[in-house]
Amino acid sequence: MQTNITSTASYDLLTLSGEVDLHYSPTLRENILGSLKAGKPLLVDLAQVSYIDSSGIASLVEGFQTAKSAKLGYGLLNVSSPAMQVLTLTRLDKIFALYTSTDQFETALQA
Amino acid sequence: MTKTKKLLDFQFPARADQLCQVRQRLREAMGACSKSEQLVNCVLLAVGEACMNIIQHAYGKDEQGDIILEVEKHGSNVVVFRLTDFAHHKTRAQDMQSRPLDEIRPGGLGCHIINEVMDEVQLIECDSDCGNVLQMKKRLRKARH
């Protein structure tokens, strides 16, 4: 798994690539919670994720809950097919806010 | 009598850093069974979840040991995955049950994924004091009704 965080004026964008499993999910959790702790909305780009297991999904859920408590915007961007398969299996595709562009997320933040 | 073909017999340390290699070996083995990328991905996910359960719950933080992953093709349509561990913790059938999905919280989704993907999930009784054997079956094609 590789991660990259870029900051815009209104939100952080965390880009993930590769395989997210139990070995890497603690790093993902740190990245997500660290970013939200700074008080900015977070968009997690999953376009390049080729595999994600329930430990990776747990980190995304923890981010969702943390953002909700802090009233910060939070969403998933361009969810790859393997990642969507897991979200669908766990029915979390109905829980997360899913976006297909950063513009969509920015619009949602302003709403 | 159904013909059985062994596709994989792989022993590895029960550690998170081994999971990538397990998926690689399993993907190679599944190549002989299915050309469906979606099916193979689901199987990789479910077997990965079962390995993760062994690492986190059977061995836990205080014990180290190995896992054996065996894969067999039974006939033309059934693939059997058997995971053997040597942990002192005995896994019970109720430990393998899914949790309600309307509880939105981190964790506890592994068993749900295994039960959704696999057609049969069974803990096999073993005689020794240590260890668990989890057997999962996946039909490659669903029966037509």
pLDDT in tens, B46-72: 999 999 999 999 999 999 999 999 999
Domains assigned to chain A: 13-110 (3.30.750.24)
The model's pTM is: 0.93
Q: Which token pair is A83?
A: 């990642």
pLDDT at B98 over 90: no
Mean pLDDT for the stretch of residues B121-137: 89
Beta bridge partner(s), residue B85: B67, B132
CA dist., res. A78 & res. A80, Å (int): 6
**Residue B94 DSSP class:** G
10 Å Cβ neighbour count for A61? Answer: 21
Confidence of residue B77 (pLDDT cuts 50, 70, 90): very high
Check CB contact under 8 Å for A53 and B45. yes
Q: Is B69 left (phi over 0), alpha (psi -120 to 50) or beta?
A: beta
Minimal CA separation from A85 to chain B, in Å: 8
CATH of the domain at B91: 3.30.565.10
Element (H, E) at B138: strand B132-139
Which ranges of B1-141 does DSSP label H, i.e. alpha helix? 19-30, 37-53, 110-117
Check CB contact under 8 Å for A57 and B38. no
Single-letter amino acid, residue B48: G
CA dist., res. B51 & res. B139, Å (int): 20
Q: Does A64 touch chain B (CB under 8 A)?
A: yes
Mutation target among A2, A23, A55, A95 for the B interface, most CBs of B within 10 A: A55
As a whole-number percent, the residues of chain B with pLDDT over 90 amount to: 74
Of B23, B112, B116, which has the smallest distance from its Cβ to A51's Cβ?
A: B23
Listed residue (A22, A27, A21, A77) closest to A52, CA to CA: A21
Q: Which residues of B126-138 are buried (b: 16+ CB within 10 A; e: fewer)?
A: eeeeebbbbbbbb
10 Å Cβ neighbour count for A88? Answer: 13
The residue in chain A having the minimum alpha-carbon distance to the alpha carbon of residue B114 is A89
Contact between A102 and A45 under an 8 Å Cβ cutoff? The reply is no
Residue B46 within any structural domain of the chain: yes
Give the residue numbers spanning the domain of B90: 4-139
Residue B54 within any structural domain of the chain: yes
Please give the pLDDT value at position B143: 62
Please give the pLDDT value at position B83: 97
Query: Beta B132-139 vs A74-77: how paired, if at all?
Result: unpaired
Query: How many distinct structural domains can be found in chain B?
Result: 1
Residue B145 within any structural domain of the chain: no
CA distances from B51 to A74, B30, B59, B90 (A): 31, 17, 11, 15
- Give 10-residue mean pLDDT values along chain A (111 residues): 95 98 97 96 98 97 97 98 96 97 97 85
Minimal CA separation from A73 to chain B, in Å: 17
Residue B144 within any structural domain of the chain: no
Q: How far from chain centre, in Å, is Cα A3? A: 11
Q: Rounded to the nearest 5 degrees, what angle is found at the Cα of B46, between the Cα atoms of B40 and B51?
A: 120
pLDDT at B25 over 70: yes
Listed residue (B54, B117, B127) closest to B85, CA to CA: B54
Q: Which token pair is B79?
A: 């693939």
Please give the pLDDT value at position B144: 57
Residue B102 within any structural domain of the chain: yes
